[in-house]
Structure 1
Amino acid sequence: MNAPATPPRDPAARRVLIATLVLLVAVTAALVAWQPGRPDRGTLPGSAGRDVSFALQSADGPVRLADFRGQVGVVYFGYTFCPDVCPTSLATLGAALGSLSAAELARVQPFFISVDPARDTPEQLKNYSRFFHPKLLGLTGSPEAIADVARRYGVYYAAQTPAVGDTGYSVDHTSVLYLIGPDGSLAGQLPHGTPPAEVAAALRRLLAAS
């Protein structure tokens, strides 16, 4: 089985990696935004107000979205063995969270929900998530529980059949940041490639409205 994309242990190396990933996101976003006729980036339409409650498992015990009622949430679905999309998206989220003030950050809870429950243990998710931000809460559950949560959010994911002799596999999945309002309902979505500053601005708008 392939090893997960374990972040470097050295703090300086971690900072360099995060800075590189965030720069990659910014460059990609600029290139995409340049395309003629492309709509302005922003919250994706549809599904606002949907019930997106969940009850999953962290390394420190059960976690329910309802436990964070009154806070602004942000949810990302991915997996620790993800080679590129997940680290880039989580680095962007981490940079956005890092730009918030202490008072703002105290009212925001980020979640990383695994779409690979067969390999992502709660402890593995905890260690992986903390690399990107101390508040990022890694969650998993039974395959049935993950399927139910993904359905609520409209997330697509599917494990790919490995090549003959390969014990690892990849998981195709939706790469979107889901914004949760203080009432626990879906408040909006931000597409992959949204720059950290725009992610932070979206979180601040929800905070200001609550």
Structure 2
Amino acid sequence: MKRSSIAILLAAAVSAGILSCLEPGPASESSQAPLELATPPTGGDFTLDSAAGPVRLSDLRGQAVLIYFGYTACPDICPTNLVSIAKALRSLHPAELDRTRVLFVSVDPERDDPEHLARYVAYFHPNVLGLTGTPEQLAQVAKRYGAAYQRVEDTGSAMGYLIDHSAFTAVVDPNGRLVQTLGHASPPETIRAAIRTALGTEP
């Protein structure tokens, strides 16, 4: 999808109120209901692909890392969560922000190549990095973090299919340990508090 197409999709989200004032409200009703955790998450290291090359979680030691599984064609669940995360990032102190990264892991490798992901996440915040991999790699990483997803055919749509997916955000501390999972549409204040707890900083 070209940059202009992404802009059109996000503009539609704005008109629907998803990005209004960067203040997401309660989760909207959607045919794409978020799934719950697939299994108890254990966390762990992994390597996936970004537009700038492979990214290994262990390379981000010393930083708090938020991990969210979704896809760029997601009509509402992913934008809602990414907007909340972006607002939380903008409310951090500069020193905290410098030690915080967000990994948006696409579970739609058929449509989301690294370059497309980079353009998409750039609309939310510079500290958000888009990652993807082979279906086998994504399944392994999702299992470690308890993420569930499944393709749902949608013949009545030009997209052809949607992906139902769990909508929580995993929080990894600077030592690489999974320390918390945040539910769908967690408010920015909750996300900010989770980041500060992982970093060990004061409000």
Q: Specify if TM > 0.5.
A: yes
SS across alignment from 1:172: strand
Give the match for residue 97 of structure 1: 89
User: What is the CA distance between 1:51 and its match in structure 2?
Assistant: 3.4
1: CA distance, partners of 2:159 / 2:20? 30
Aligned AA (2:48): L
* 2:200 aligned to which of 188, 205, 208: 208
Give the match for residue 58 of structure 1: 50
* 2:102 aligned to which of 89, 110, 130: 110
Aligned AA (1:87): P
User: What is the CA distance between 1:52 and its match in structure 2?
Assistant: 2.4
2:18/2:76 contact within 8 Å kept = no
Task: Determine which structure has more spread, i.e. the larger CA radius of gyration.
Answer: 1
- Two-structure CA RMSD over aligned residues (Å): 3.2
User: What is the CA distance between 1:22 and its match in structure 2?
Assistant: 3.7
2:148/2:165 contact within 8 Å kept = yes
Unaligned runs of 5+ residues in structure 1 are 30-43
Label 1:198 to 1:164 Cα distance change in 2 as closer, same or farther (>3 A): closer
SS across alignment from 1:6: helix
What pairs with 1:1-210 in structure 2 (closer than 5 Å)? Answer: 6-7=6-7, 19-20=19-20, 22-23=22-23, 25=24, 27-28=25-26, 47=40, 50-163=42-155, 168-208=160-200
User: What is the CA distance between 1:194 and its match in structure 2?
Assistant: 1.1
1: CA distance, partners of 2:5 / 2:73? 5
2: CA distance, partners of 1:111 / 1:165? 28
Deviations 1:72-108 (A, max 9, x none): 1101100000000001100010000010011000111
Aligned AA (1:160): V
User: What is the CA distance between 1:7 and its match in structure 2?
Assistant: 3.1
2: CA distance, partners of 1:9 / 1:63? 27
The TM-score with structure 2 as length reference comes to: 0.82
User: What is the CA distance between 1:185 and its match in structure 2?
Assistant: 1.6
User: What is the CA distance between 1:18 and its match in structure 2?
Assistant: 6.7
SS across alignment from 1:51: coil
SS across alignment from 2:6: coil
User: What is the CA distance between 1:61 and its match in structure 2?
Assistant: 0.3
Label 1:206 to 1:8 Cα distance change in 2 as closer, same or farther (>3 A): same
Going by fraction, where is helix more abundant, 1 or 2?
1
The TM-score with structure 1 as length reference comes to: 0.80
2: CA distance, partners of 1:194 / 1:165? 29
SS across alignment from 2:72: coil
